[in-house]
Amino acid sequence: MKTLRLAIFIVVALVHVSVPASVMWNRERTLRHGRVWKFRTAPVDPVDAIRGRYIALRFAAEIAPPQVEVSDRSIKPDTLVYVSLKEDADGFAQIDQISETVLRGDNIVTAETGYWAQNAPRVHFPFDRYWVTEKNAAAAERAYIENSREQKQNAYVTVRVRDGDATLEQLYIDGQPLPEYLRAHPPK
């Protein structure tokens, strides 16, 4: 009985360690070998930008361009869809195709649909939170809000995509990774 309990515990302990470890392994592979996509952030409501320890991101690419291809014109809100990405003239990601059927590749991310805007549903990408350390939270919030306004849109994130797995890599403010930007612009 004791041996059985011990054996079960060892299996449980392996599951405990393997759950975070597998996340770590998959994300490391995506971050090392995935294709880099740049997503320009959309202007934010300053009140709604930071929630505790993460920045709530909104992207310009959530609204599809007019020439987008949509597999089904009756896609409802809250549907899981496969979004194929392409780069615009400035090198930022934009939606090329929205499909309810499975698509594969380093340009495919899953997303959830919102309400329809013009010719396609709005989509919500599954990487809309950028976690920051407690030390940097206030400064990061200020920097992000200042650079994500209607008058000044100077922030973007890089996302690595590998075979459907999308991982948020870095938040760039004024062309610099967030930690570097904060070092260069210390709070007064």
- If one counts every other C-beta atom within 10 angstroms of the C-beta of residue 56, the result is 14
15 scored as a contact of other proteins (CB under 8 A): yes
Partners of 70 in beta bridges? 98
Phi, then psi, of 175 in degrees rounded to 5: 80, 0
16 scored as a contact of other proteins (CB under 8 A): yes
For other proteins, which residue of 48, 66, 115, 135 counts as binding (CB under 8 A)?
Answer: 135
184 scored as a contact of other proteins (CB under 8 A): no
Query: b/e per residue, 69-103, with b = 16+ CB within 10 A?
Result: ebeeeebeeebebbbbbeeeeeebbbbbbbbeeeb
How far apart, in whole angstroms, are the C-alpha atoms of residue 157 and residue 59?
9
How far apart, in whole angstroms, are the C-alpha atoms of residue 130 and residue 145?
14
80 scored as a contact of other proteins (CB under 8 A): no
Neighbour-count burial of 185, counting CB atoms closer than 10 A to its CB (0-12 exposed, 13-18 middle, 19+ buried): middle
- Contacts with other proteins: how many residues (CB under 8 A)? 34
Which C-beta is closer to other proteins: that of 40 or that of 127?
127
For other proteins, which residue of 126, 138, 175, 184 counts as binding (CB under 8 A)?
Answer: 126
Stretch that binds other proteins, among 86-94, 108-116, 122-130, 145-153 (CB under 8 A): 122-130
21 scored as a contact of other proteins (CB under 8 A): yes
Residue ranges binding other proteins (CB under 8 A): 2, 5-6, 8-10, 12-13, 15-17, 19-21, 23-24, 27-28, 31, 53, 126-131, 133-136, 167-169, 179
